[in-house]
Structure 1
Amino acid sequence: MTEWTKLNEAITEWFTVVQQKLRTSDQKPLEIKQKSDRTDLVTNVDQEIEAYFVKQIKTTFPDSKILGEEGDKDNGLTTYPGLVWVIDPVDGTMNYVKQRDHFASMLAVYENGHEKLGYILDVTANKLYWGGPECGVYCNDEKLAPPKDLPLSEGLLDISGRMLVEDYCHVKKAVKASLGIRVYGSAGLGFIHVLTGKTLGYLSHLHPWDYAAGKILAHVQGLVVETIDGRPFDMLSSNDVLVATKNAEKDILKQLDRPNV
């Protein structure tokens, strides 16, 4: 087993560089391309940050496997007996392009198929949320206490804008049962707000790089992370993912008309 301290020392140095790259990126021309549709964007900065992470991983931990949002993908990820890294270089790319705010950078580490370490960098706030089962969860150098296990009626709910507009699985019923709705447009920030108790739940359709880091941190903090159709998580598949306090999770799922349940 790799010492978590060895991994963390290297990774925190990388995020110091990534923070600087992202905060100064508006000084360079931004090249924007569409992926699946006009709301699914990728920029040269996304690609630059992912390339930086890949280079550092391959140099420092050469026997690793990698899954990156922008195309870096090794074979044999799900059964690899070693370190597997999941990279989301810029999470909330639309926010980054249009606002230069409300976006994150994320990295998850798995070892022998088990959750090892997760990292979510809130770039604008310059706060790195990180941790794992061996060390707890931190914001920069401050250890976080688990959020209060409140019911849905006592807090705010974060749901993807598309799910809300389409009333996917009747999510509006869950919204009405809460104290209010928030839509941030970033999975990383969505996880951070549940980790810190600012919201009681976050629900969105997510790719593996969207939830890999947050899932590790949420589990350590005693939160529930699950697919709403009850299927197991798959490192290579997208899912409708809910992260919530245990009490809020029960309340949310009672309100949803979930597929295949």
Structure 2
Amino acid sequence: MTMSQLEIQNIDQTVLLWLDDLQKDTISAMRHHLQVGTKHDERDLVTNVDKANEQKINALIRSFDVNAKIVSEEGFGDKPTAMNGHVWFVDPIDGTMNFVKEHTDFAIMIALYVDNQPVLGWILDVVDNVVYHGGPKIGVFANQLRIQQPGDDSLAEGVVLLSGARLLYGMFGYDQIAKAALGYRVIGAAGPSFIRVITGQAVGYSSKMMPWDFAAGQVLAKTLGLIVSDIDGQALDMLSSNIVLVATKRAHRDIVELHKS
């Protein structure tokens, strides 16, 4: 089903209102005692805020878009096997380690896909209270300021962002990619890393991600003419984990070639 620009703008504005409330709640919760647990290992943290935010967002989506399916991190969503219809992706706290230990470089992310096509994405930089949002039909904005397409710098001309764990062990050619770049950084969260690429601060970013980690960033990046793929240059599977690469066209070509070599 094709949605009009007006329908898409109305959805965008509705989610921005949700995120305004979530930003205030998350900052307030961060200033009080966090209940911190672990999931798969001691570095895979989860807090009461992750769970509370996801429950709030999912309830709002289910009320607003009653037939939609939800793919979300903390287990309160659905388990769709296909991308038909409306599919929402929710990351209630992206970068939980940063949230708990650094109190910066974390985000809240939401995305809407319709029949497997990217429609809208939202990445909320919680600390700075800036929402990066939009999609193919309306463009991309930082709050109300339109973002222009970033330049097409090569890998050698810019900073690349990489997964720290995989860089440490030289996986996926990350060590060679870091050496070939003008500089490299490890942020430790997908949302803040996508923000740096779409705003032109970095020429590329790669990490292993789950769908809720990359769904919103993919919408915004593709709208701005950036390339989003797996590390081999193939389309992403929206319902499973991927080694994701987002980059300028020239940096994307450079990185894929280095990975394959």
TM-score range, shorter chain: over 0.9
Stretch of structure 1 that moved more, 33-42 or 231-240? 231-240
Q: CA deviation at 1:232?
A: 3.5
2:88 maps to 1:80: no
Question: What letter matches 2:158 in structure 1?
Answer: G
Q: How many residues align?
A: 257
Residue 154 (structure 2) aligned to one of 151, 154, 158 = 151
Who is 1:91 aligned against? 94
Stretch of structure 1 that moved more, 24-33 or 46-55? 24-33
1:13-52 equivalences in 2 (<5 Å): 13-52=17-56
2:178 maps to 1:175: yes
Who is 1:165 aligned against? 168
TM-score normalized by the length of structure 1: 0.94
Seen in structure 2, the aligned counterparts of structure 1 residues 60 and 38 have a Cα distance that, compared at 3 Å, is same
Instruction: Tell me how far apart the structure 2 counterparts of residues 26 and 108 of structure 1 sit (CA, whole Å).
Output: 24
Instruction: Tell me how far apart the structure 1 counterparts of residues 233 and 201 of structure 2 sit (CA, whole Å).
Output: 26
Instruction: Tell me how far apart the structure 2 counterparts of residues 50 and 127 of structure 1 sit (CA, whole Å).
Output: 19
**What secondary structure does 2:98 align onto?**
helix
* 1:122-155 superposed Cα distances (whole Å, 9 cap, x missing partner): 1111110001011000000000000000111111
Seen in structure 2, the aligned counterparts of structure 1 residues 77 and 110 have a Cα distance that, compared at 3 Å, is farther
Instruction: Tell me how far apart the structure 2 counterparts of residues 230 and 176 of structure 1 sit (CA, whole Å).
Output: 20
Checking the alignment, whether the CA contact within 8 Å between 2:149 and 2:224 is kept in structure 1 is yes
**What secondary structure does 2:70 align onto?**
strand
Q: Alignment RMSD, CA only?
A: 1.4
Who is 1:206 aligned against? 209
Q: CA deviation at 1:75?
A: 4.3
* 1:2-48 superposed Cα distances (whole Å, 9 cap, x missing partner): 41022112100000011101111124321111111111111100000
Checking the alignment, whether the CA contact within 8 Å between 2:71 and 2:80 is kept in structure 1 is no
Residue 56 (structure 1) aligned to one of 53, 60, 77 = 60
Checking the alignment, whether the CA contact within 8 Å between 2:206 and 2:246 is kept in structure 1 is yes
Instruction: Tell me how far apart the structure 2 counterparts of residues 39 and 257 of structure 1 sit (CA, whole Å).
Output: 30
Stretch of structure 1 that moved more, 161-170 or 227-236? 227-236
Q: CA deviation at 1:50?
A: 0.5
Q: CA deviation at 1:231?
A: 4.7
Seen in structure 2, the aligned counterparts of structure 1 residues 16 and 153 have a Cα distance that, compared at 3 Å, is same
Question: What letter matches 1:216 in structure 2?
Answer: V
Is there any run of 5+ residues in structure 2 with no aligned partner, and where? Answer: none
Residue 228 (structure 1) aligned to one of 231, 241, 247 = 231
Instruction: Tell me how far apart the structure 2 counterparts of residues 7 and 226 of structure 1 sit (CA, whole Å).
Output: 26
Seen in structure 2, the aligned counterparts of structure 1 residues 231 and 245 have a Cα distance that, compared at 3 Å, is closer
Is there any run of 5+ residues in structure 1 with no aligned partner, and where? Answer: none
**What secondary structure does 1:138 align onto?**
strand
* 1:96-117 superposed Cα distances (whole Å, 9 cap, x missing partner): 0101111000000011221110
